[in-house]
Copies of this chain bind each other. A is one copy, B any other.
Amino acid sequence: MDFKEQIKQVKLAAPKMANTTKQNRNQALQSVSTALLHNQDAIFAANQEDRKQAKLDGVPEPILNRLKFDDKKLKDVLAGIQDLIKLSDPLFQTVFQRELDQGLLLKKVTCPIGVIGVIFEARPDALVQISALCIKSGNCVVLKGGSEALKTNKILFDIIYKAILEAGLPLHCMMQLEARSEIKELLSCHGLVDLLIPRGSNAFVQYIMDNTKIPVMGHADGICHIYVDLDADLAKAVPIVFDAKTQYVSACNAVETLLVHKEIAPRFLPELKKMLDKKQVEIRGTKEVAKLISCKEATEEDNKTEYLDYILSVKIVENLQQAIDHINFYGSHHTDCIITENKETAEIFMDLVDSAGVYQNCSTRFADGYRYGFGAELGISTGKLHARGPVGLEGLVSYKYKLFGEGQIVEDYALGRKSFHFKEL
């Protein structure tokens, strides 16, 4: 069967998947949990092969760590599945019911999106989380994981798919791509795949967005800002900036640009630099910054750069409005933070900054589905349509309008023989 034919099978499974009961889907999740536990030795063995190969290929240490699927990672994903089972059903929820006229009942009811394609990094635990979120939300899923995890992904997929079929979910409700070349074919499946969620490098996500007609949810850039206001408490500001920059530099929610109010800069910047020096963070500052601390000179390019590294660009601003304008212009609408003790200033900042996450007095690194209490996330959206910020179960449902009538025709209403009465039920 050729590629498109296979995807068509998944599309055809979508209405069946959409109509599985909560019990069906929770039971399937339970079966997945049991099957993973039962097959743990085989999974760990496959993972060891992947890691051995990755080491031979010179894959860097941080990626090797993410590639690891051991007892601890298994426990984590199993706990995640149990949490998911406990969450209330996102499907078949009546958003509203309205009687349009006597005997003409409109119901807005949640339903799955359909077929979701997820392209993700070489992290086998992500495969389990993504599959579980899609099962819970009644979506069919086409998975493509990072190639370094090929063997682990293969065995995980086989175990999960077998378990959910045995639990009664429809044939073809999951599919895994193994070759990177298949991504290009997937991008052409407009009309068959309802949503693509690409995770990975900026360039990769941008490539996906530019090369498909399928709606894409996610983010390319993560240029997060912290603005240290005139009324900042430096005892909070220094550790927050340090955490947001260094806790995990390659995360999309790490801070890249620091904006500092001119009146607090002389006190704040030297203190911050002392702290950042502990992790050899390179500071790229404007001329005004260079007068206060030693740093490299920043260029216009630095305003637009997601370093994902131990580098921070620093700029001094005249006032709150300048900070807001800078963030709205250069930012990526991901997560931006103000450090201030002034509640009013914080409110203005949080209302006027046009980002998925607007924070006061805490690290930008909190922008994450797990930390928001969503259980897990499928990605973080910087778009403003459908889901924004971390995307959990709620971002995986759509709705349909069901209208129940008794023979009503529009002509009667158009000619004024009948009229709507719109009663909420």
Contact = CB atoms under 8 A, between A and B. Distances in A.
Interface of A: 14-16, 18-19, 98, 100, 104, 106, 113-114, 194-195, 209-210, 213, 215, 217, 233, 235-236, 239-240, 242-244, 247-248, 324, 328, 346, 350-363, 365-367, 371-373, 383-386, 388-389, 398-411, 413-414, 420, 422
Copies per complex of this chain: 2
A19 B321 CA distance: 14
Contacts of A351: 15, 18-19
B410 A366 contact: yes
A350 B399 contact: no
B113 A362 contact: no
**Secondary structure type dominating chain A contacts:** mixed
A194 B413 contact: no
Contacts of A217: 385
B401 A356 contact: yes
A359 B14 contact: no
10 contacts: A15-B351, A104-B366, A217-B385, A350-B402, A357-B402, A358-B402, A363-B405, A365-B409, A366-B405, A388-B399
A220 to B, nearest CB: 11
Contact of A409 (B235, B247, B405): B247
Nearest to A195: B385
Contacts of A373: 98, 100, 106, 420, 422
A363 B406 CA distance: 10
Contact of A239 (B360, B389, B409): B409
A124 B239 CA distance: 57
Contacts of A401: 356-358, 367, 372, 388-389
A362 B247 contact: no
Point out which of A104, A233, A410, A413 has the most chain B C-beta atoms below 10 A from its C-beta: A410
A357 B402 CA distance: 6
Nearest to A215: B385
A304 B155 CA distance: 42
Nearest to A339: B407
Nearest to A217: B385
Given A113-B384, A114-B354, A400 B410 contact: no
Contacts of A235: 407
A400 B358 contact: yes
A372 B389 CA distance: 30
Interface centre among A16, A324, A346, A357 (most CB of B within 10 A): A357
A285 B356 CA distance: 52
Contacts of A19: 351-352
A34 B371 CA distance: 49
A243 B417 CA distance: 14
Given A358-B401, A363-B409, 11 more contacts: A15-B328, A15-B354, A100-B371, A104-B366, A243-B410, A247-B409, A247-B411, A360-B402, A371-B420, A384-B398, A389-B401
Contacts of A420: 371, 373
Contacts of A356: 400-401
A104 B406 contact: no
A351 B399 CA distance: 11
A227 B66 CA distance: 52
Given A213-B210, A388-B399, A362 B408 contact: yes
Contacts of A403: 357-360, 362, 366
Contacts of A18: 351-352, 354
